Copies of this chain bind each other. A is one copy, B any other.
Amino acid sequence: MPPLAATVSRKIGRALGEYSMLADGDKVLVAVSGGKDSLVLLHYLVNKRKHLPVDYSLKALHLNTDVSPHGHWKEFTKAVAGLGVELDSIDVSVVSRLVPGRKMNCYWCSTQKRGELLAYALANGFTKIALGHHMDDILETFLMNMMYKSELSTMLPVFTYDKYPCTIIRPLALVTEREILQVAEELGYRGITDVCSCSGRTKRAEVKKSLDYLCREGDFVRDAIYKAMGNVKSRYLPN
């Protein structure tokens, strides 16, 4: 195994273990956008099934929205088939559901997609939904919530619904975006990118710059901030 692929594998293994992401008999629905992140996630979940002492099944689901281009759809479906995972696709008209007069935004898009994903999972008996969010996504959400929502919160590696028998897991939680980009190359998922049509013009793109600035001394700062999110010293925070 090439060196980075081993590091990423170890980090995913750690996330699966530390957060108890998988249990025996889990039916895992992997949400795939059609890009590298999804392929890397799928790749490792397929490969880890051979080694982990946990029995789980996998299926990939693509939410086909009216905002995402599909520049590499053919290569993507071929890669998924190569991994031996069944792929389903459902249409979600994110734009046409917009209340008239409202502009398209990330929040609207993601809540619409999440609703459809959850409905599909519940209707088909899936116990877990695996999302391809990585460490940078989690750190960016933390910064966004802090800077624009005035709260210390983020998206969780594992999110359990109170009302539904289905749990969200993010096995890439400890893997940085750079590592995913590089490992996608190593694994041969070259050039399969699926960029949202809003990409680069969002608040998130600005927050990504902020995160990079904070971490300009090295990735040890990324790790430190990640660890800090789970290390709240309430006695030393104003209220």
Contact = CB atoms under 8 A, between A and B. Distances in A.
A156 B230 contact: no
B228 A156 contact: no
A156 B238 contact: yes
Interface stretch (A78-86, A100-108, A119-127, A145-153): A145-153
A224 interface: yes
A153 B236 contact: yes
A148 to B, nearest CB: 6
B157 A228 contact: no
A150 B231 contact: yes
Interface string A217-239: 10001011111111111111111
A213 interface: yes
- How many copies of the polypeptide does the oligomer hold? 2
A155 B230 CA distance: 19
Contacts of A154: 236-238
Contacts of A224: 146-150
Contacts of A151: 228, 231-233
A90 interface: no
Nearest to A145: B228
A229 B238 contact: yes
Nearest to A214: B210
A163 to B, nearest CB: 15
Contacts of A153: 232-233, 235-237
B150 A152 contact: no
Contacts of A226: 238
Contacts of A145: 228
A206 B237 CA distance: 22
13 contacts: A138-B238, A143-B214, A146-B228, A147-B225, A148-B224, A149-B228, A150-B227, A152-B232, A153-B232, A153-B235, A155-B236, A157-B238, A210-B214
Closest 3 CB pairs of A and B: A153-B236, A153-B233, A150-B227
